[in-house]
C-alpha cells in the first residue's frame, strides 16, 4: 500500500474537523482540544464538544485536563535540566539521592538502580494496572499515581521498594512507575517539593501558568469520562477501568486534581492545558532553549534502549522519557522516523515530527479513546493527509 505523506496546511483544518466531528457524532468522545503547529506557527486550534456533558458546558480552548502520563515528559524534562546544570548525572545511583529506596532483585540481592534506568523505563519496575488482579503491587498497596490512596510519595516508594523488581535493571524495557521515583529524586536534588521544582525548572521559564499538580482554576477543569455504550460515562472516584484483559486495570480518582493533599505523582499527577503542553513540545523541537542545550535534547530524543522490544508499541524505541519512532511500517503510521509520541490515560495523545517541523497536541476528556482509540489513528492520518492509493 502506498501513501501520500505530504502535509498541506491549507487542507489540514478541514480534514481534522471531519475526524473530530465524526468521533463526537459517534459518541466516542465527549470533548477535545486539538492544537497543531507547523514550523513554529499554530495552524490549527479548536475546542470541540463538551467539557461537561451533564452541565451542557462547551469545551474551551483553555480547558484544564488531568494529564496522567502526559506528566512524564514534563518531569523528565525537569530531570534533564538538572543534568544540564550539573546537579544530577544520568549514571548516578538512585540510592545516592534516595537512600531508603533500595528494591531487591528476585534473588533477594539489592539492585543497582541508576537515574538512566528510571528515565528509560528499564528500571525493573512495572505499574499496578499492568499486573494481574491482586498482583504484587496491589498486595503491597502501591499507588499508580492516579487514585487517591491517602499516602505520601515517600510511603508509596517505601511500598514499591518492598516488592522485588520484575527484572534486573537495564536488561528489559517495561513502561512503569519509574517516573514517580524520578520525581522524588528531583525533589531531593532541589531540596524542595516536586511541585516547586517543576515550577522553577520548567513551567515558570516557559510561561506554562496552567500546569501544576492541582487545577489552577477548577472552573476550567473538564469532567472526566470513559468509553461506554451507548455513550461515555463520567468517571467517579475509585473507578476501575479495564486496560488489557487479565490485568488489574486503572484505578482512578478524578477528584485528585483538586486535592492539595494528594502526593505529587511524577508519572501521572499533573493538570494542564493543551496550549501549555504545546509550548513545551515546541521548545524541545526547536532545540530546548531556554531550558536545555540542543545536545541534551538530542540525547533525550535518541534511542537509549537498543533493540529491546517494547510491548504495545511496535516499531518504536525509547529515549529519555519519550517514545521514538524507528519503523513507520511496523508501527503502521505516516509519521516520519524519529517522531516522538506518547499519551495519557485520561484521554490524551501527542506527537512531534521533527522532520516535518510538526507538533500535535490532542487533549480529550474521554479515557482510552483519546489515548489509544481509533480517534488517535484517524487524527494522525488527517494531519498527514494519508490517502490510500
Identified catalytic residue from 69, 76, 195, 273? 69
Cβ distance 261 to 37 under 8 Å?
no
Tell me which residue of 232, 363, 356, 352 sits closest to 285, measured CA to CA: 352
Location of C-alpha cell 492545558: 273
Helix axis angle, 178-190 to 153-161, nearest 10°: 130
Rg value, the chain, Cα: 20
User: Which string of DSSP letters, residue by residue, matches 313-378?
Assistant: -TTEEE-SSSEEES-HHHHT--SPTT-EEEEETTTEEEEEEGGGTEEEEEEESEETHHHHSHHHHH
Contact by Cβ (8 Å): 110, 124? no
What totals of helices (H) and strands (E) does the chain contain, helices first? 14, 15
Tell me if residue 265 is catalytic. no
To the nearest 10°, report the CA torsion of 172, 177, 183, 189.
-40
Give the catalytic positions in this structure: 69
Amino acid at each position: 500500500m502506498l501513501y501520500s505523506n505530504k502535509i498541506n496546511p491549507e487542507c489540514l483544518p478541514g480534514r481534522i474537523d471531519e475526524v473530530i466531528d465524526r468521533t463526537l457524532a459517534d459518541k466516542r468522545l465527549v470533548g477535545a482540544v486539538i492544537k497543531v503547529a507547523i514550523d513554529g506557527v499554530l495552524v490549527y486550534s479548536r475546542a470541540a464538544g463538551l467539557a461537561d456533558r451533564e452541565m451542557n458546558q462547551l469545551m474551551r480552548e483553555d480547558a484544564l485536563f488531568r494529564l496522567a502520563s502526559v506528566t512524564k515528559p514534563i518531569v523528565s524534562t525537569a530531570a534533564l535540566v538538572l543534568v544540564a546544570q550539573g546537579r544530577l548525572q544520568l549514571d548516578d545511583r538512585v540510592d545516592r539521592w534516595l537512600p531508603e529506596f533500595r528494591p531487591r532483585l528476585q534473588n533477594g540481592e539489592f539492585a543497582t538502580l541508576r537515574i538512566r534506568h528510571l528515565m528509560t523505563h528499564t528500571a525493573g519496575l512495572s505499574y499496578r494496572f499492568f499486573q494481574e488482579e491482586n498482583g504484587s503491587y496491589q498486595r503491597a498497596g502501591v499507588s499508580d499515581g492516579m487514585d487517591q490512596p491517602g499516602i505520601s510519595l515517600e510511603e508509596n516508594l517505601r511500598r514499591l521498594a518492598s516488592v522485588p523488581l520484575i527484572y534486573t535493571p537495564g536488561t528489559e524495557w517495561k513502561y512503569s512507575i519509574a517516573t514517580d521515583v524520578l520525581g522524588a529524586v528531583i525533589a531531593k536534588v532541589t531540596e524542595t517539593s516536586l511541585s516547586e521544582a517543576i515550577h522553577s525548572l520548567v513551567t515558570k521559564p516557559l510561561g506554562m501558568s496552567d500546569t501544576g499538580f492541582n487545577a489552577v482554576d477548577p472552573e476550567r477543569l473538564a469532567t472526566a469520562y470513559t468509553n461506554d455504550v451507548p455513550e461515555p460515562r463520567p468517571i467517579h472516584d475509585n473507578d476501575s477501568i479495564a486496560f488489557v484483559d487479565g490485568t488489574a486495570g486503572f484505578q482512578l480518582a478524578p477528584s485528585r486534581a483538586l486535592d492539595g493533599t494528594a502526593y505529587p505523582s511524577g508519572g501521572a499527577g499533573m493538570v494542564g492545558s493543551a496550549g501549555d503542553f504545546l509550548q513545551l513540545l515546541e521548545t524541545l523541537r526547536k532545540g530546548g532553549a531556554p531550558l536545555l542545550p540542543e545536545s541534551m535534547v538530542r540525547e533525550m530524543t535518541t534511542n537509549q534502549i537498543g533493540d529491546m522490544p517494547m510491548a504495545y508499541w511496535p516499531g518504536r524505541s525509547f529515549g529519555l522519557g519519550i517514545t521514538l519512532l524507528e519503523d513507520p511500517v511496523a508501527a503502521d503510521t505516516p509519521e516520519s522516523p524519529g517522531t516522538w509520541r506518547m499519551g495519557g490515560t485520561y484521554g490524551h495523545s501527542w506527537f512531534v515530527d521533527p522532520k516535518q517541523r510538526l507538533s500535535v497536541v490532542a487533549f480529550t476528556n474521554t479515557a482510552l479513546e483519546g489515548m489509544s482509540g481509533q480517534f488517535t489513528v484517524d487524527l494522525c492520518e488527517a494531519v498527514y493527509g494519508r490517502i490510500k492509493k
